[in-house]
Every structure is written in C-alpha cells, then in structure tokens.
A and B are shown apart, each in its own frame.
Chain A
Amino acid sequence: MNMNINMKMKAAVVVFPDSNGDRDAKRAIETLGIPVRFVWHKESSIEDFDLIVLPGGFTFGDYLRTGAIARYSPVMEEVVRQAKRGAKVLGICNGFQILTEAGLLPGVLLRNRGLLFLGRDVWLRVENNATPFTSAYAQHQVIRLPIAHGDGNYYIDDEGYKRLEGEGRIVFRYCLPNGVAPNGVAPNGVAPNGVAPNGIAPNGAKGDVAGIVNEEGNVLGLMPHPERLVEPILGGQDGRGVFESLLNAVCGRVN
C-alpha cells in the first residue's frame, strides 16, 4: 500500500466529553497510513477534511438521550457544513445516535429490546457495497463485528423504512453466520419466510437494520464497531473494509 498517497487523505476524529472510542478510531485509521487529527467538540471552525468520524462513547453521559446534547456542540455545525460539501461522515455507535439527533440521518436509536447493554460479536450482511464506506466488501458479504451498546434498537416509521429500503440506504443488516437475513432478501433472491418474524437483531432493530446512509450516500451511521476489528490479533479484521473503502473513495484505488 502506498503510504504517501494515503497521507493525502485528511481524517478527523471528533472528541466530545465522554467520547471513548476516539483513540480506537484514530488507531484503526492510522493502520492504513492515514493521518488523523483529534478535533475537540468546542472547535467551531475546522479545516476541510475528507473524513470526519463521530466515535463511540457516552457523550455527556447520555443522561438525557443518547447523542441529544452532543448534537448541539459547536463542532456539529462544521460537521453539517462539511457533509453538505461532500466530506464523508462516519458515525459509529454513539456517533450514529448523534447523527440521528442532528437530523443528518433519519430515525432514532431506542433502548435495546431486552433492556440490557449488549457487548458481543454480531454477523452483518453488506446490503449495499456501492457506497464509499463498503466498496471494499463484496455485495452480500457476511462480516463479523463487535457491538457494545444499550441503545441500538433502530426505529423509523414504516414509510421511512420503505424509503430506506427502496433507495438502497440500508447498508448493513444483522444476519446469521451463514448470511441468512430474515428481514432482507436472501442472496438467492428468496426471503426465508417465517424464520424469525421479529427479526434477529439482538437489540430489536427494525428490519434488522445495523447501518444506514443518508440520501447523498456520504454519511454513514452504524451501531457495530468496525474500528475494533482491523487487526488479526484482536480476533479478525472484518472492520478494515470500511476504512479501505473510504481510502479508495477519497484517493482512488491505490492497491
């Protein structure tokens, strides 16, 4: 991989009070040779970035609602501006929650259906690999990533859900290890009827939705943590594809 070309990509990880996945996100991106700057949430004017990550955490304790207070941090106006400009914005876990609160993504993340925090690995199916976040994966590729959240139960009204589905904006869906996603269309084109009427998402997410993009396709929110599984020593590198895709999208294919 050509590190010099990667150096041209400019990436930021926003640090809110009680962001706690900030260092993990920075490290994951840096393993691809991409330099990363931590941006403090009180910064109201920042240089242009190719990628802005809103990392996992419990911003402001999540005491009111997840992401509800962070979305009013000064930096968020910049995030909105840069998203409009076409910068890629990646919201992971709490970052996803902030993006929905800020209105950059539709829907909302409710308490997990079982009311318990869930820290475990899940299987995901890549439902759309024609995005800047997923091009390094094959369509319908099954990947394994950790989740760690108490509020990952994605909800949107039926109309909004149909729209997401129709526009190919559901990017990641929880599935079984063999790729069966009862709420999605199976790779062979046949939906497995009646296997799990309530879905298989451990958090109860509508339609087993794990990650979505905005209309323009440059803002992704997802509950699982790609940044935690990019090195074999940690048990796999299925998350690496997200960052490789971003690198490809920004710098063109380099490898």
Chain B
Amino acid sequence: MNVWKEHGLTEEEYTQIKALMQREPNYLELSLFGVMWSEHCSYKNSKAQLRKFPVTGPQVVQGPGENAGVVRLDGKLCAAFKMESHNHPSAIEPYQGAATGVGGIIRDIFAMGARPVASLDSLRFGSLDDARTKGLFRGVVAGVGGYGNCIGIPTVGGETFFHPSYHGNPLVNALCVGLVEEDKIFKGQATGVGNIVMLVGARTGRDGIKGASFASEELSDSDPDKRPNVQVGDPFMEKLLLEASLEVLEAGLVVGLQDLGAAGLTSSGSEMAGRAGSGLYIDLEKVPLREKNMEPWEIMLSESQERMLMIVEPSKVEAIEKVFDKWDLIASAVGEVTGDGHFTVRRGGEVLASVPAEFLTDKAPVNLRPAAEPEYFRALKKADCSQLRDWKNWTDLLKKLLASPNIASKRWVYEQYDSTIGTNTVVRPGSDAAVLRLSGSSGSPGSVKGMALAVDCNSRYTYLDPWRGGAIAVAEAARNVAVSGARPLAITNCLNFGNPEKPEIYWQFVQATDGMAAACSALSTPVTGGNVSFYNEYDGRAIYPTPTIGMIGVLENVEDRVTSDFKAEGDWVVLLGETLEELGASEAHFLLTGRDEGEVPFLDFEKEKKLHAFLVEAARNRFLASAHDCSDGGLAVALAECAIANAMPSPFKGTSLKGTLGVTLDWRGSVSPAAALFGESQSRAVISVSPGKWEAAKALLKKHNLPATLLGKTGGDAFSLRYNGALLVDCPLSHLARLWNDAIPEIME
C-alpha cells in the first residue's frame, strides 16, 4: 500500500505535504496530516461554499471557527450553542454512537466557559417497518437519553423523521446550548510562551482511532474492520469534568480551553496553536494511558472521550491539580506553549514529529468540486397529484397521517429524556420550539428573558429542490421559534450529505447551502457555526440532502411564551398566511403514493418575515392563546395537533386521559379541498385567540398587513372541518388522539 493511502490522503495531497515540509514527512507526521486534512477536520470540500454564509450581526458575539458560536441574549448574558453530527458511529453502535455525540457537543459548550443548560436532537432513520431500523431507533434514543439524563442536562426538544433514504445510515445530530457572560467567554487558544499544556479528564486508550477519517468514508455492509472505532461514553466522568472545568474557569486559573473530539490530541493541540499563532509541544511520556504499549500515532489520534486540553500559567498548575483532585480526576501537564509556530510531539527529550501548526489547520487543500445537476431534479418536478386532489375520504386520510410515524406523537422519544432538570424548561418537548427561562437554577438570576430553540429540516424538500429546501429549513426553524413568541436570532447547523466527490451530491450541497445563505440573510439570522457530515451513503446510495438547522431566538419576557395547544373553549381559530394550490412534495402525497415528487412549496422571504413580526408582537402583547406552525401534513394536521397536543395516554390501553380540546370550523377559500387541508404552503401558522383579545389581534394583523382566515371556534370533543360548505372531516377527537399517541409505541413494542 502507498504510504499516503494508509493515512487517507491522496497522492496529490502527499506531494503537497512534501512541498510544504520541504522534506519527507515521517510516519507520525503523516498520521497528523491524515486526520487533520480529512474532510471531518479540514472541511476541504465544503470550506469554499461555507464562506457564502452571513456570519455577522449585532447579536453575534462569536461566529464560526471556535468551539461554539455565541449570541447575546440579555445584557452581558450570552448563549453558546452548536450542533454536531455523529452519524457513522451511530450506524455501527447506536447507543454509544448517539451517547458520545451528545457528550462531544456538551464539551464544546463548556469549553467556551458556558454552563450547558439544554440539548436538542435531530434524528433520521430508515423506514420503521424494518427490524434493523427499529433497533437503531431504539438504541439512538436510549443513547441520547442515557448520556443527557446522567450528566443532568435536559433534552428539551428535537425532531425525528423516518424515510427509506436513511436506511443503514441514520442521522444523529445533537445541539447543545449553554449560558455564559460575555466577559467570561473562553477561547481555544494556546497563548503565552512557556504556559503549560494540561490534559484533563479521562485516560487515553485506543478508542476511535482514526474516527475522523472514518467519518469521511462511505458505509457498507462489509466493514467489520471499522467496528473498533466505536468510542464508549462515560457521562459520569463528563459530569465531573464539567464541574471541575467550570470551577477552574470561575477561579481564573485557565488561559485557553479546548475539548478533545475527532482526531483527539492532534486536532485540539494543533488548532489551539494555530488559532493563537503560537506553537506547542506534547510529551507522550506525560500522557496518562489506559492501555499499555500504545504507539505514538495511537496516542496522538486516540478519540477517547471526556478529555479536555487546558493552557495554564505555570504558577497555577498546582491549583488546577487541586481542583481536579477534589473531583477525583487527573490533570496532567503534558506540554508547553512555544513560540516557534510548530506543533511538536516528543517522547521525553526525543522529537518524534514537528510540523508548523498552520500546515495542519490552514494549509489543507480547498477543493472546488465539480457540481452537476442530477437528472431527477427536473424529472420529479412534474408530479401527478390527482390521487390526492381527487381523494374522497378526508377523515380517513387525516387518520392515516396522524398514525404515520413522521406525524405521530414523538412522546415515545422525548419521554426517555429528562426534559425538566435544571428548572429552566418553560416549554417542554412537543410544542414547536423549546423555551427556557434564563433565570433557572443554572441560569442568571434576575433575567426576565427567555430563549427558544428549534431544530428543523424537511429533507423531502431539500431532495426535490435543494435551494428552496435549504431556504425553507431556515424559514421553518425561524417560524418554530417565532410561534413560541421569540425573535429568531441566529443559527447553527449540521450539513448532512452524501459523497461530495459525486458531482450530483456536490450540486445538492452547493444549492442547499446557497438557499440557506439567502434565507439567513433575508431573515437576519446569521450562521454562528456548525458542522459538515459528508459520505452519508449506504451501499453506494446517498441519503437525502439534510441541512439540519438549529435556530435560537429570544423572548423579551419569558412569560410571553406561547405553546401550540388550544387553551380554552370558545377561542377564535385563525389561519395566518396564504394557502396556494400546492400539493407536490407533501407528506400526504407521499403517504398515498410512496413517491417523493412535485414542486416544493414556494417561499417568499418578505411574507415569512411579516408572519414572524406579527407573531412576536402578538405574543409580546399576550394576544395569543396558542400558535402552531403549519407545515408537514398541512392545515388539517396542524389543527389536529393543536387539539390533541396535550392528550396523555392513559395507563389503561386504548384510552386517553385528558387534554384534548375540539374545534368546529367552517371557512371558505379558493384552493381545492386537498390543498386547503393537506397542502404545505409556507409562511403559515394556526393561532387561537380569546374573544376578549380578538379585536386587538385583528388591529395588529392589519398593522402588519398579514392575510388571515377566520376558521371558527374551539370547543367540544369533535374535530369538524367544513370547507366551502362541505363537511370534509368529522371525527371524535379521542379517536384521533389515540391514533396519534399510540402509533410509535405500538410499532416499538
């Protein structure tokens, strides 16, 4: 085998390395290049495209490039937040893959000096009728919960989507958010020549060696050799590491801080030196090992979890050791900051590798891949939606949709998560966005504000029209935040795609990120960070392009928060926005035909902005009893969700405890019944308003010049929808609630 291949490099890259080094790199040095120049660490295939994202704004305190992005929420109080993927490890070992994904993103947040206060997850699996998929689903959910519950960070929201394109390659994206005061933000920089490099937390073993390059390859059934890559998470250790780290940061003992993720010591060490423009060395004799006889490259590439690298002034080393000892953790001085710009690996006095840090972090090639429009793109725009348009039994179709795994209640998922620990969670899972107060037991006393968080992506849209789908992902995430009463502020993202070396895949990537960039600019929600996950393929078949968006928003007063469920009998139910004759790319069309096709709903940024502005102002004035995004499944599904959102399953099978509130609606419109009920026109929301607030709400609608349709009133136990004079849907609510609640538990039993 060629020496470069063994390290996952191409011949061109190897030649480039030799030219940079002006000599033949040794084995260890090539290992360092191999992981640092992998897509996972270098973003070599995506960098050029990511530069198109808007990254600045008055709310942005820290943009892309650090461990996490930071936005300002209330005076000095900021949120550090980031999302990351752990797709390939989860495909191999769902529990540990998901758990270590959560653990990794939590470390990114406290590396910024922030106390993590909440997590969200965005999960995608193949079709749930497959036994293997069920196992992956079960394992991933247990892993997300297992880690978050144990470390005591609530998982407050998320999304779960099932589609055959994720068969064998599930997507596990985890978002974490933490709170930090602006002047206490830490950076991953190795500054101050002579400062000590300390490795803290777990010992180093042979975990996940070359995980970074593994993440940059495709999966197939015949890869048993890849299995040793799975890392095992230890949330108990991470909890101690979190508390000890925050304690030493609070005491002012630390200069720079970085977590050890993919490519372990190599990436954290070289990135810290690279960002500071300094150099540093690591002495392998000082690294506490879990296993004997580890080779230098194994130590440098190990991805053992629950470790952090700290830069510390020499006089403070002892104080650091004392704090870590209190928490029964090891803190070891493993190296020193130098001024030579080199990232150096030593064993005692012997230099094993020495590479200018910037060669590893900044000199990785930037590939402009060829992009080619795939054949399906034009072909699938034309779709025959007559089956949906001519459907007769609308009640039956609604029932089928509510019982389909994508629409059905995700209670089975989020009840495996502790969502209330920390006493910050004001709106729990199950609504459009999670809302947290900033003054909870791990927040800032005195703040009356709140933050809202949502994750979103409709990958059917991004497949059929990557540009518009990318834009809609941003718009819908913002809408989820806005219906909760919060002003959308900024995003993080996970860009999950197939193999970028295929021109069609790269085209999807370019289109989707261009669409995202346009939406982020239009909605003034800049990108503060994120990650790229390529090579999501199984047996040569790529997943649907899935640029998952994590949106954060702020509520001026957390008491203004709005949830999706109807609140009281006799409230007005109103549809905001316009409904067009749009049936393509809909969940209902897919349910009836099994086909993803048709024109993706049109998105108008100006209309979207107007909707958000109304929602935020209406919430601020406490006009809204409820508000819910109208999206997957269309208006009929959105209304049903508002009516049954609180339906608790009873301990006695087949009955609901309570918490439903029916509607009897009667409205007129110009589109077909199919489009009125199940079309997925964008920039719409369903609100309910108490009669006493209705006049004021109407005036506000007029002020914002926002089209709205009065549908009818809440009340009773029926779910009755009359459109243009015809009774289209009529069903006892308890029946809908049961179908919606029981669908996933019944499949998983």
Q: Which A residues are closer than 8 A to B by beta carbons?
A: 17-18, 20-21, 23-24, 26-28, 40, 56-58, 60-63, 116-120, 146, 148, 150, 176-177, 195-196, 200, 202, 225, 227-228, 231, 233-235
Distance between Cα atoms of A24 and B235 in the complex (Å): 19
Task: Return B439 CB to nearest CB of chain A, in Å.
Answer: 9
Complex contacts, A116 vs chain B, CB 8 Å: 142, 415-416
Q: List 17 A-B contacts (CB under 8 A).
A: A18-B236, A20-B151, A24-B423, A24-B441, A58-B149, A61-B234, A63-B236, A117-B142, A118-B416, A119-B149, A148-B420, A200-B652, A233-B558, A233-B559, A234-B420, A234-B423, A234-B425
Q: From residue B20, how far is it (CB to closest CB) to chain A in Å?
A: 45
In the assembled complex, the Cα of A119 lies from the Cα of B240 at a distance in Å of: 23
Complex Cα gap A227–B234 (Å): 27
Q: Does B319 reach chain A (CB closer than 8 Å)?
A: no
**Bound CA span A63–B420, Å:** 23
CA distance A118 to B418 in the complex (A): 8
Q: Is B426 an interface residue (CB 8 A)?
A: yes
Q: How far is the CA of A11 from the CA of B419 in the complex (A)?
A: 27
**Is the pair B418, A119 in contact by a Cβ cutoff of 8 Å?**
yes
A120 to B420, CA, bound (A): 9
Known: A196-B652, A228-B420. 20 other contacts (CB 8 A): A17-B236, A18-B151, A18-B239, A20-B150, A23-B422, A24-B423, A56-B421, A58-B236, A60-B236, A61-B150, A62-B150, A116-B415, A117-B146, A117-B418, A119-B149, A119-B414, A119-B418, A120-B415, A148-B418, A233-B426
- Residues of B with C-beta under 8 A to A63: 236
B657–A228 touching, CB < 8 Å: no
Q: How far is the CA of A118 from the CA of B240 in the complex (A)?
A: 24
Q: Which residues of B contact A146 (CB under 8 A)?
A: 420
Assembly CA distance A196 to B425 (angstroms): 33
Alpha-carbon separation in the docked complex, A60 to B658 (Å): 39
A233 with B437: CB separation less than 8 A: yes
**Bound form: Cα–Cα A28–B235 in Å:** 26
Is there contact, CB below 8 Å, between B149 and A117? yes
The interface on chain B, measured as residues whose beta carbon lies within 8 A of the other chain's beta carbons, has a size of 40
Question: Whole-angstrom distance between the alpha carbons of A60 and B326 in the complex?
Answer: 14
Inter-chain contact A202/B441, CB cutoff 8 Å = no
Question: Chain B: residues with CB nearer than 8 A to chain A?
Answer: 142, 145-146, 149-152, 234-237, 239-240, 326-328, 414-423, 425-426, 428, 437, 440-442, 558-559, 650-652, 657-658
How far, in Å, is A186 (CB) from chain B's closest CB? 16
CB neighbours of B416 from chain A (8 A): 116-119
- Are B426 and A58 in touch, CB under 8 angstroms? no
Which listed residue (B236, B240, B422) contacts A24, Cβ 8 A? B422
Are A20 and B441 within 8 A (Cβ)? no
Do B152 and A119 touch across chains, with their CB atoms under 8 A apart? no
- Shortest Cβ distance from residue A24 to the other chain B in the assembled complex, whole angstroms: 5
Q: For the complex, what is the distance from the CA of A40 to the CA of B414, rounded to whole Å?
A: 32
Nearest CB in chain A: distance from B178 CB, A: 14
Q: Is the pair B421, A148 in contact by a Cβ cutoff of 8 Å?
A: yes
Q: Give chain B residues whose Cβ lies under 8 Å from the Cβ of A56.
A: 421
A60 to B328, CA, bound (A): 11
Q: Known A119-B417, A196-B651, A234-B423; judge A148-B149 contact (CB<8 A).
A: yes
State in angstroms the CA–CA spacing of A228 and B652 once bound together.
Answer: 27
Give which listed residue, A61, A177, A233, A234, contacts B235 with CB less than 8 A.
A61
The 10 closest A-B pairs by CB, nearest first: A20-B152, A61-B236, A148-B418, A23-B441, A27-B441, A200-B651, A58-B150, A18-B239, A119-B418, A146-B420
Hey, which chain B residues are within 8 Å of A17, CB to CB? 236, 239-240, 327-328
Q: Are A119 and B420 in contact (CB under 8 A)?
A: yes
B142: chain A residues within 8 A (beta carbon): 116-117
Other-chain residue from A40, A57, A118, A227 in contact with B152 (beta carbon distance below 8 A): A57
CA of A23 to CA of B428 in the docked complex: distance in angstroms?
20
Known: A24-B421, A234-B425. A119 touches B415 (CB 8 A): yes
Q: Which residues of the other chain, B, contact A196 by a CB distance below 8 angstroms?
A: 651-652
A18 touches B149 (CB 8 A): no
Please indicate the chain B residues that have their CB under 8 angstroms from the CB of A227 in the complex: 423
Neighbour of B651 across the interface among A27, A150, A202, A233, CB < 8 A: A202
- Nearest Cβ in chain A — how far from B462, in angstroms? 31
* Chain A nearest Cβ from B367, distance in angstroms: 43
Of all chain A residues, the one with the shortest Cβ separation from B146 is A117
Of all chain B residues, which has the CB nearest A146?
A: B420
* A185 CB, min distance to chain B CBs, angstroms: 19
Q: Tell which of B415, B420, B441 touches A26, judged by Cβ atoms closer than 8 Å.
A: B441
Chain A residues closer than 8 Å to B420, beta-carbon distance = 119, 146, 148, 225, 228, 234
CA distance A92 to B651 in the complex (A): 24
Residues in B with CB closer than 8 Å to A235 are: 426, 428
Which residue in chain A gives the minimum CB-CB distance to B151? A20
Please indicate the chain A residues that have their CB under 8 angstroms from the CB of B442 in the complex. 23
Q: Which residues of B contact A24 (CB under 8 A)?
A: 421-423, 441
CA distance A200 to B417 in the complex (A): 21
* Complex CA–CA separation, A56 to B239 (angstroms): 14
Contacts of A120 in B (CB 8 A): 415
Q: In the assembled complex, how far is the CB of residue A179 from the closest CB belonging to chain B, in whole angstroms?
A: 13
B residues less than 8 Å from A231 (CB atoms): 423
Question: Would you call B415 and A177 a contact (CB within 8 A)?
Answer: no
Question: CA A40 – CA B326 in complex, angstroms?
Answer: 10
Quote the shortest CB–CB distance from B325 to chain A (angstroms).
11
Smallest CB gap from B417: residue in A: A119
Residues of A within 8 A of B150 (CB): 18, 20, 58, 61-62
Residues on the B chain within 8 Å of A18, using CB? 150-152, 235-236, 239-240
Nearest residue (CB) in B for A150 is B149
Residues of B within 8 A of A228 (CB): 420-421, 423
Residue in A60, A61, A195, A234 whose beta carbon sits within 8 Å of that of B426 in the complex:
A234
Interchain nearest-CB distance for B688 vs A (Å): 19
Chain B nearest Cβ from A139, distance in angstroms: 23
**B234 to chain A: closest residue by CB:** A61
Q: Judge whether A20 and B239 touch: CB under 8 Å.
A: yes
The CA of A18 and the CA of B420, in the complex, are separated in Å by 17
Evaluate contact between A119 and B239: CB separation under 8 angstroms: no
Give the docked Cα–Cα distance between A195 and B652 (Å).
9
Q: How many angstroms from the CA of A60 to the CA of B237 in the assembled complex?
A: 9
* Closest residue on chain A to residue B558 by CB atoms: A233
**Most chain B beta-carbon neighbours within 10 Å: one of A18, A56, A146, A231:** A18
Report how far A254 CA is from B357 CA in the complex, Å.
66
Q: Whole-angstrom distance between the alpha carbons of A228 and B424 in the complex? A: 9
Question: Which residues of A sit under 8 angstroms from B236, Cβ to Cβ?
Answer: 17-18, 58, 60-61, 63
Which chain B residue shows the least CB distance to A28? B423
In the docked arrangement, what's the CA distance between A150 and B147, Å? 13
Shortest Cβ distance from B329 into A: residue: A17
Smallest distance from the beta carbon of B49 to chain A beta carbons, Å?
Answer: 39
**Min CB gap B110→A, angstroms:** 14
Find out whether the CB atom of B651 lies under 8 angstroms from the CB atom of A58: no
Chain A residues with CB below 8 A from B152, complex form: 18, 20-21, 57-58
A195 contacts which chain B residues (CB < 8 A)? Answer: 652
CA–CA, A73 to B146, complex, Å?
Answer: 24
Q: Contacts of B327 on A, CB cut-off 8 Å?
A: 17
**A119-B420, A233-B437 known; A177 and B149 CB under 8 Å?**
no
A-chain residues with CB within 8 Å of residue B240 when the two chains form the complex: 17-18
Complex CA gap A20/B421 in Å reads 8
Name A23's closest neighbour in chain B (CB-CB).
Answer: B441
